[in-house]
Chains A and B, each alone.
Chain A
Amino acid sequence: MKGRFGIYGGQYIPETLMNAVIELEAAYEKFKNDKNFNDELEKLFNEYAGRPSLLYFAEKMTRDLGGAKIYLKREDLNHTGSHKINNVLGQALLAKKMGKTRLIAETGAGQHGVATATAAALLDMECVIFMGEEDTRRQALNVYRMKLLGAEVIAVKSGTATLKDAVSEAFREWTRRIADTHYCLGSVMGPHPFPTIVRDFQAVISKEIKSQILAKENRLPDYVIACVGGGSNAMGSFWNFIDDKEVKLIGCEAAGRGVDTFETAATITTGRAGIFHGMKSYFCQDKFGGIAPVYSISAGLDYPGIGPEHAYLNDAKRAEYVPITDEEAVAAFEYLSKTEGIISAIESAHAVAYAQKIAPTLPKDKIIVITLSGRGDKDCASVAKYRGVEINE
């Protein structure tokens, strides 16, 4: 069925937005195989965003952990510092082709907001970013970056004042103003066609991993590990391996203070099927279907849902989803900094943490690829705080 991944997905949105998503789908179908569009996007990827990103052999980490060989897919080296730019350049270009002049977006950690503001600046579009008030405090530097890029940043005070509320507010704004506005959704979530569009634009990650690992090792990896909030970097990292059944796909969810506490954002582990933000998927919720307040040290993973295709891959047992606590992620953040000289995003550190757990248990001829979805400059202050150190940004 159109826009469905098994039972998940769909278009659970107000009638006001239906023609907008139908128009978006039609435009995407038209341009996705259009040579000019793809050439233009590839040029932006390669000459503006710095693609292809490196696949780096983490030799010290491999030696230190004493098991499987570890490679890092360096999305942190992209322009704007994360994988978010892949999707944003694709959607902004598509919106421009559709005649839209204004981009709106939600942001959690600020990475998607910064990427959207960047694309808007580059493509001469107006830009408004919705960010939970709580997150504007946690990620003050990114707020400044977005403003510097010419975007308006709206601090969302409703609900828990985090990512889910920013998404809700961006949807509300879209129903207010549709004609000239494209909602540049930042993850593989929301109503159809967003989960598909975002996946396709992020699929460049696994396309590159595949050719790079074949060039270096002449075989596919045994594991691909990525962090999952909404799940865009994970979906992009998994996509071109889904048919390669021997490649294990592992998504790392934010367990916050632990999956046995209420302060968690591990959706697959602690949630159940529900309908919210335009999609049927897994959600953290109470017994009456109220969306649960979630928590993670990582603003980018602090979301009560997960993209519908991940829900499907989980149920189909094609991918596995594991919870990683704040403590484990912070330790991995520090470990990667000291071992490889790479300060990754705290989101990505969730994937690093899981690799630290399994690498030592695997033989030396196994290969793990970890996607580093972003760089960690933005997280230094909150990690310092977690460790009891106050620093002035």
Chain B
Amino acid sequence: MSNIKNAFAQGKAFIPFITCGYPDLETTAACVRAAVENGADLIELGIPFSDPTAEGVVIQEANLKALQGGVTTDKIFEFVKNLREEIKIPLVFMTYANVVFGYGAEKFLSTCAKIGIDGIILPDVPFEEKAEFLPLCQKYHVDLISMIAPTSENRIAKISSGAEGFLYIVSSLGVTGTRTEITTDLAPMIKIVRENTKIPCAIGFGISTPEQASKMSKLADGVIVGSAIIKIISKYDKDAAPYVGEFVKNIKAAI
């Protein structure tokens, strides 16, 4: 069992997502610090991938620009290793199967363990393909985070019952990106989750305002925000950290 449970120990957790190396790793570090200072409970660090098929345009663009800026998995490992000296809250990677597979899954996950990564989210690895990485994740004590979508229906129970770390509840159909309204009836989904696991669950996809975050936090144990933060970074570029901090503070106050 990793440290992820600690993120949910003091009330509702706020989980910001930040793409590593967008626009550069120094800015990423500053944004992570600002998020932690303002109450973030766990950080999702995106390792950019050339073809992020589960992302909307905002995070796609961040992935592309980060890669163009020369960031690599090795540089991100080094970056996290240094960041770990000051950041104590749980950290998880969010990336794609081929980033892990192409690097060598064992080398990737053993490095995660060494630098203090607590979990990994791979949106293109569903329940049926968990065996690809799960044995190595368990060997190195990196939680493989499972996702549940509005279309999961009869799959919710089996996904929940074996899940580790926290459950990522996808709020809406489609890819990542801010939405004006979240219409999925999430309560019945979360009820089935609760019946099948004791681990916490957090809702992500489409959340951008304190009002939405507040509403979602009443249903789940935590709230994940990605695209709205990446939009702030894209607007303020290398000076984004204080604005990210302020955003985190507002969300945290609302949940």
A-side interface residues toward B, CB under 8 Å? 10-20, 158-159, 164-165, 168, 171-172, 175-178, 273-278, 280, 283, 285-292
Shortest CB-to-CB span from A130 to chain B, Å, is 12
Shortest CB-to-CB span from B215 to chain A, Å, is 21
Known: A15-B151, A19-B151, A19-B155. 15 other contacts (CB 8 A): A11-B126, A14-B54, A14-B126, A14-B149, A15-B123, A18-B128, A158-B57, A159-B64, A165-B51, A274-B101, A275-B124, A276-B51, A280-B101, A288-B103, A289-B96
Shortest CB-to-CB span from A279 to chain B, Å, is 10
Residues of B within 8 A of A291 (CB): 50-51, 98
Shortest CB-to-CB span from B81 to chain A, Å, is 17
Complex Cα gap A13–B103 (Å): 20
| In the complex, B182 has a CB within 8 A of chain A | no
Residues of B within 8 A of A288 (CB): 72-74, 99, 102-103
| In the complex, B11 has a CB within 8 A of chain A | no
Complex Cα gap A17–B99 (Å): 21
Known: A168-B53, A177-B173. A10 touches B67 (CB 8 A): no
Please tell me if the beta carbons of B151 and A12 are within 8 angstroms of each other in the complex: no
Enumerate 10 A-B pairs (CB-CB under 8 Å) in ascending A order: A11-B129, A12-B132, A15-B147, A16-B151, A16-B174, A172-B175, A275-B101, A276-B51, A288-B74, A288-B103
Residues of B within 8 A of A165 (CB): 51
Complex Cα gap A134–B67 (Å): 21
B-side interface residues toward A, CB under 8 Å? 49-51, 53-54, 56-57, 60, 64, 67, 72-74, 96-103, 123-129, 132, 147-155, 159, 170, 173-175
Complex Cα gap A287–B74 (Å): 11
Residues of A within 8 A of B125 (CB): 12
User: Chain A CB within 10 Å — which of B60, B64, B159 has the most?
Assistant: B60
Known: A18-B128, A289-B98. A175 touches B175 (CB 8 A): yes
Residues of A within 8 A of B100 (CB): 289
Known: A19-B155, A289-B99. A12 touches B147 (CB 8 A): no
Known: A12-B125, A288-B73, A289-B103. A176 touches B175 (CB 8 A): yes
Residues of B within 8 A of A278 (CB): 124
Query: Majority SS of interface residues in chain A?
Result: mixed
Q: Which residue of A lies closest to B147 (CB)?
A: A15
Residues of A within 8 A of B67 (CB): 290
Shortest CB-to-CB span from A331 to chain B, Å, is 33
Shortest CB-to-CB span from B226 to chain A, Å, is 15
Please tell me if the beta carbons of B129 and A15 are within 8 angstroms of each other in the complex: no
Please tell me if the beta carbons of A18 and B152 are within 8 angstroms of each other in the complex: yes
Q: Which residue of B lies closest to A18 (CB)?
A: B126
Please tell me if the beta carbons of A172 and B53 are within 8 angstroms of each other in the complex: yes
Complex Cα gap A289–B99 (Å): 5
Complex Cα gap A271–B67 (Å): 20
Residues of B within 8 A of A283 (CB): 98
User: Chain A CB within 10 Å — which of B101, B150, B170 has the most?
Assistant: B101
Complex Cα gap A176–B173 (Å): 5
Residues of A within 8 A of B173 (CB): 16, 175-178
Residues of B within 8 A of A276 (CB): 51, 96-98
Known: A176-B174, A177-B173. A158 touches B147 (CB 8 A): no
Complex Cα gap A14–B148 (Å): 9
Please tell me if the beta carbons of B149 and A159 are within 8 angstroms of each other in the complex: no
Choice from B50, B97, B101 contacting A159 with Cβ under 8 Å: B50
Residues of B within 8 A of A172 (CB): 53-54, 56, 174-175
Please tell me if the beta carbons of B149 and A171 are within 8 angstroms of each other in the complex: no
Q: Which residue of B lies closest to A178 (CB)?
A: B151
Shortest CB-to-CB span from A3 to chain B, Å, is 9
